[in-house]
């Protein structure tokens, strides 16, 4: 990671183009660095419009006629009767165990046993242990629920990075293909799993050292009591509506990033130190255009650890992140937010906080272009309406 001449840490790989820095600084000088009040009001009206059960849902993804909320107790049975399009179907559970006592010894084998274009809710129960494999759920395998051991010892590990050579293409994988676990299918649910990319942290000056633990690109995904462990780019919240609850996310540089529209509720973000620079970032939200319905909302979360971090860096021109009722340790730097080296983005991003606490929540020296929300302004971000959860989320 390099530094701009005003000591703003910059992004490696595809997220930054260093040769543009000087021209961007010059061109942006003519612009105001903050939204006007009228522009801010327009933002809030737009958010309210898209944050409710009656808001627009993606036409390309049809909601199922019925859904099943599998629980840990479901793993005590061999099957579950579910109703699909008015017909009762007996769905067989898959059991994965390292000791051979289940149907499968690898997670990927259990996934591949599910028919393509699956429309039946399917449960995969995974026993305790370390599963050293790269797990991929393709777009055609919807309605999968994965439940790990209640002991918290179901661990999925791999170590690809953006520079790892793909055996399929003989080219570098890039960030998108580096995850230990990737989910491209809709209606994915996970409980009690730990997903780690244990590649070494990138060294100073290293290119394409990003190492994603988990990527979710499908719509309507929910994850509970899960842990995501890495360094740079730990959790790739790529696209779609997602709900993370009671999850632990660990990293240092932009360790929650992407263009998803997601709620993080009761989650813990742990900032790791960076040996070669002073400040990392919790988020790098990529919303690039005003008509993109994406953004991150953090509710009742905790930010602490050993490293120094911004709450977010503006990966996208119209990046959108809100922290509400969140405890912030002194790992959060006083300015709070960073423009990613593009000052013009300071008037188009939506970065805000509401009723946060802790030493890192002191807003007296926050950047001028971030906001402290009023109760009315914060309302769209405080419920599952932000992700249209009334329509698809099963635990509300």
Range 335-361 burial, b when 16+ CB lie within 10 A, else e: ebbbbbbbbbbbbbbbbbbbebebebb
Same structural domain for residues 171 and 117?
Answer: yes
- Whether residue 354 lies inside any domain: the answer is yes
In a domain, 10, yes or no: no
What integer pLDDT is reported at residue 354 of this predicted model? 98
7 in a domain, yes or no? no
Are 255 and 269 in contact, with CB atoms under 8 Å apart?
A: yes
Residue 387 phi, psi dihedral angles, 5° rounding: -110, 20
Which residue from 176, 194, 192 is spatially nearest to 184, judged by alpha carbons? 176
The answer to whether position 22 is within a domain reads: no
Looking at the fold, whether 53 and 169 belong to one and the same domain comes out as: no
Q: Are residues 178 and 140 in the same domain?
A: yes
Report the CATH number that the domain containing residue 393 is assigned in CATH: 2.160.20.10
* Best CA proximity match to 321, nearest among 299, 286, 352: 352
What CA–CA distances, in Å, run from 258 to 71, 87, 267, 317, 318? 29, 38, 17, 13, 12
My answer on whether 260 and 364 are in the same domain is yes
In this structure, are 218 and 75 located in the same domain? yes
Residues 304 and 383 in one domain: yes
Q: What is the pLDDT along the chain (396 residues), one digit of tens a residue?
A: 332 322 333 333 345 433 333 332 333 333 345 556 666 666 566 666 666 544 444 444 456 656 788 999 999 999 999 888 888 989 999 999 999 999 999 999 999 999 999 889 999 999 999 999 999 999 999 999 999 999 889 999 999 999 999 999 999 999 999 999 999 999 999 999 999 999 999 887 778 889 999 999 999 999 999 999 999 999 999 999 999 999 999 999 999 999 999 999 999 999 999 987 779 999 999 887 777 789 999 999 999 999 999 999 999 888 999 999 999 999 999 999 999 999 999 998 999 999 999 999 999 999 999 999 999 999 999 999 999 998 899 876
Cα–Cα dist 102/281, whole Å: 41
For residues 287 and 377, state if they share a domain.
Answer: yes
| Shared-domain flag, residues 109 and 163 | yes
Our CA angle for 263, 55, 339, nearest 5°, is 45
CB 359 within 8 A of CB 390: no
Looking at the 3D structure of the chain, how many domains does it have?
A: 2
Q: Is residue 375 part of a domain?
A: yes
Residue 45, pLDDT score? 66
Clarify whether residues 312 and 246 are in a common domain.
no
DSSP-assigned letter for residue 60: T
Domain that residue 220 falls in: 67-200+210-251
The answer to whether 271 and 280 have CB atoms below 8 angstroms apart is yes
Verify that 366 and 314 share a domain, yes or no: yes
Q: Is residue 5 part of a domain?
A: no
Other beta carbons within 10 Å of 112 = 15
Average per-residue pLDDT for the chain: 86
Residue 315's contacts (CB-CB under 8 Å, 6 or more residues apart) are 11, 15, 254, 257, 284, 285, 286, 340
H/E element holding 263? strand 261-265
Considering only CA atoms, which of 236, 175, 185 is closest in space to residue 207?
175
Question: What one-character-per-residue DSSP string does 369-391 give?
Answer: TSEEPPHHHHGGGSSGGGGTGGG
Domain-embedded: residue 244? yes
Catalytic site positions: 233, 254
93 falls within a domain: yes
Integer Cα distance of 40 and 25 in angstroms: 24
Do 341 and 351 lie in a common domain? yes
Counted residue by residue, the chain has a size of 396
What tokens appear for 174 in the block?
Answer: 């890039």
Assess whether 118 and 227 both reside in one domain: yes
State how far Cα 330 lies from the chain centre: 23
Per-residue pLDDT tens digits for 231-288: 999 999 999 999 999 999 999 999 999 999 999 999 999 999 998 777 999 999 988 7
**Locate tokens 């690109």: which residue?**
217
């Amino acid at each position: 990671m390099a530094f701009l001449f005003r000591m703003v840490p910059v992004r490696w790989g595809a997220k930054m183009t260093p040769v543009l820095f000087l021209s961007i600084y010059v061109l942006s000088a003519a612009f105001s660095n903050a939204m006007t009040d009228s522009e801010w009001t327009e933002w809030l009206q737009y958010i309210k419009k898209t944050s409710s059960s009656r808001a627009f849902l993606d036409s390309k993804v049809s909601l199922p006629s019925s859904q099943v909320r599998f629980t840990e107790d479901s793993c005590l049975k061999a099957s579950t009767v579910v109703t699909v399009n008015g017909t009762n179907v007996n769905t067989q559970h898959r059991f994965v165990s390292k000791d051979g006592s289940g149907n499968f010894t690898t997670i990927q084998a259990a996934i591949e046993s599910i028919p393509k274009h699956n429309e039946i809710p399917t449960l995969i129960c995974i026993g305790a242990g370390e599963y050293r494999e790269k797990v991929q759920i393709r777009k055609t395998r919807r309605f999968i629920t994965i439940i790990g051991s209640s002991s918290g010892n179901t661990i999925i590990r791999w170590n690809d990075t953006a520079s790892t050579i793909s055996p399929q293409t003989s080219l570098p994988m890039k960030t998108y293909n580096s995850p230990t676990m990737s989910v491209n299918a809709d209606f994915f649910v996970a409980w009690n799993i730990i997903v780690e990319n244990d590649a070494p942290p990138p060294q100073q000056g290293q290119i394409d050292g990003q190492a994603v633990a988990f990527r979710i690109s499908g719509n309507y995904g929910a994850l509970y009591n899960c842990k995501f462990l890495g360094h740079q780019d730990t959790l790739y919240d790529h696209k779609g509506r997602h709900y993370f609850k009671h999850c632990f996310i660990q990293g240092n540089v932009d360790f929650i990033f992407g263009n998803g529209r997601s709620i993080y509720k009761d989650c813990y973000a742990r900032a790791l130190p960076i040996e070669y620079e002073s400040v990392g970032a919790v988020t790098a939200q990529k919303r690039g255009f005003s008509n993109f319905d994406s953004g991150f909302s953090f509710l009742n979360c905790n930010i602490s650890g050993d490293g120094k971090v911004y709450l977010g860096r503006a990966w996208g021109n119209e990046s959108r992140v809100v922290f509400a009722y969140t405890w912030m340790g002194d790992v959060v730097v006083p300015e709070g937010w960073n423009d990613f080296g593009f000052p013009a983005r300071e008037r188009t991003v939506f970065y805000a906080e509401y009723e946060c606490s802790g030493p890192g929540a002191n807003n007296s020296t926050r950047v001028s272009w971030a906001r402290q929300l009023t109760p009315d302004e914060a309302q769209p971000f405080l419920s599952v309406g932000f992700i249209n959860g009334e329509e698809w989320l099963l635990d509300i």
